[in-house]
Amino acid sequence: MASIVEAAAQILEKGGLAAFTTNAVAERAGVSIGTLYQYFTDKNALLIALARGEMEAALGEVGRALQGDGDSSVDGRVRAMVRAIIHAFRGRQRARKAVVQALLAQGNGIELMAPVAAFVARAAETVGRGPNPLIGPLTREQAFVVSRSLMGVVRAAVLEEQPFLASRAFEEEIVRMIVAYLGAVSAATGRQP
């Protein structure tokens, strides 16, 4: 089962969506096509299993990064989160890309993406508080904007295979944006009461 999912990831990584056929996956996994179908109802089910795995990995990475006891300033913590996201997206770019594509192509993508986004939003919120609180709870729109812009930037860099993806400068700018935004939210909220 795990080997089949792994094979699927490899196929996707190497040949993209076009190469992703159940027969190819079975062959690479070293099992018969029948066995594949014993574990996954559907080509789609396999895809979802793969996606779920990737998502959980990403979640874990971000979560672990935030547990880390590095720099506990707002800047430091945002940077930890940004780094985690970048990392989560860098391993097996093509596979991940293909998974996202395939998922979106069927409408199942959003539900699977949602948890990650929610997690990121919550993390941002948490980060904003800390020792000397920066912000209160975010509104729905605010949470959306933080999480999606962060993920959007990173994803774009991955998809476009930008050379500066791993650079310090890039990280810096993303951090700057998030921190600036959280600050602005805080300022606006502070004024309101």
Partner DNA sequence: AATGAATGAGCCTTCATTCAT
Partner DNA sequence: AATGAATGAAGGCTCATTCAT
Query: Could you please report the per-residue DSSP string of 6-72?
Result: HHHHHHHHHHHHHH--HHHHHHHHTS-HHHHHHH-SSHHHHHHHHHHHHHHHHHHHHHHHHHS-S--
Distance CA(84)–CA(91), nearest Å, equals 12
Is residue 72 involved in binding DNA (CB under 7 A)?
Answer: no
> Is residue 43 within the footprint of DNA (CB under 7 A)?
yes
Among 15, 16, 91, 115, binds its own copies (CB under 8 A): 16
Q: Is 49 in the site for DNA (CB under 7 A)?
A: no
Nearest residue (CB) to DNA, 18 versus 169? 18
Question: Quick one: which segment of 32-40, 49-57, 83-91, 180-188 binds DNA (CB under 7 A)?
Answer: 32-40
For residues 140 and 30, give the distance between their C-alpha atoms in angstroms, rounded to a whole number.
46
Cα–Cα distance, 170 to 43 (Å, whole number): 37
155 binds its own copies, rule: CB under 8 A: yes
Does 106 contact DNA by CB under 7 A? Answer: no
Q: Which of 34, 69, 107, 131 binds its own copies (CB under 8 A)?
A: 107
Site map 2..21 versus DNA, x via CB under 7 A: ----------------x-xx
